[in-house]
A and B are shown apart, each in its own frame.
Chain A
Amino acid sequence: QQQVKQSPQSLIVQKGGISIINCAYENTAFDYFPWYQQFPGKGPALLIAIRPDVSEKKEGRFTISFNKSAKQFSLHIMDSQPGDSATYFCAASITGNQFYFGTGTSLTVIP
């Protein structure tokens, strides 16, 4: 059973546009929500993470929006660039326990 459901599976965005990837979870005990970025031929790398005590976290062009009541969180990439083309994974965990990953979103930013 997928603990974290991610959508869309793939996304194509024009350069300069906003990329939005969504994730949903059921386990209300989750208290840590990271996003990972994976380039072809590489392992996933931590991009940004949030805890449920805040509704938004921003790091540069990357923002996580968190809706605790809806049990959803999303990644927004502002001013998307071709170099952002990668696969993005959301994840969730209970601190001190394993991460559960979404199935990934393949993002393509068209120049």
Chain B
Amino acid sequence: DAGVIQSPRHEVTEMGQEVTLRCKPISGHNSLFWYRQTMMRGLELLIYFNNNVPIDDSGMPEDRFSAKMPNASFSTLKIQPSEPRDSAVYFCASSLDRYPDYGYTFGSGTRLTVV
């Protein structure tokens, strides 16, 4: 299995531009999570999906952030418009169950820099 695949690995964009991050979860996993990692706040859960349905988006910082999961094999996290404070590493993770005892499988992340 190729694991959780995220793209792009790195993204540099100008303030005000739209940014789209992509994730392909492990085949067969039915839960998908988007996390943001910063030095100051560590790992923050932004949103999670179960069976392609958004369950909890309370971690989404503001309306500029949106996430979709059109099918079981693909999800996007969009920031529009982007701001310098959005600079972080964004991780996607998937799991077999909603909150499994055996942990999530994380992707390698997308490092976003907004200048």
Contact = CB atoms under 8 A, between A and B. Distances in A.
Interface residues of B, number: 20
Of A34, A36, A43, A95, chain B has the most CB atoms within 10 Å of the CB of A43
B106 A43 contact: yes
Contacts of A101: 42-43
Contacts of B98: 96
A81 B58 CA distance: 40
Q: Is the interface of B mostly helix, strand, loop or mixed?
A: loop
Interface of B: 4, 41-43, 45, 48, 56, 91, 93, 98-99, 101-109
Contacts of B91: 43-44
B101 A95 contact: yes
Contacts of A34: 103
A95 B102 CA distance: 11
B42 A36 contact: no
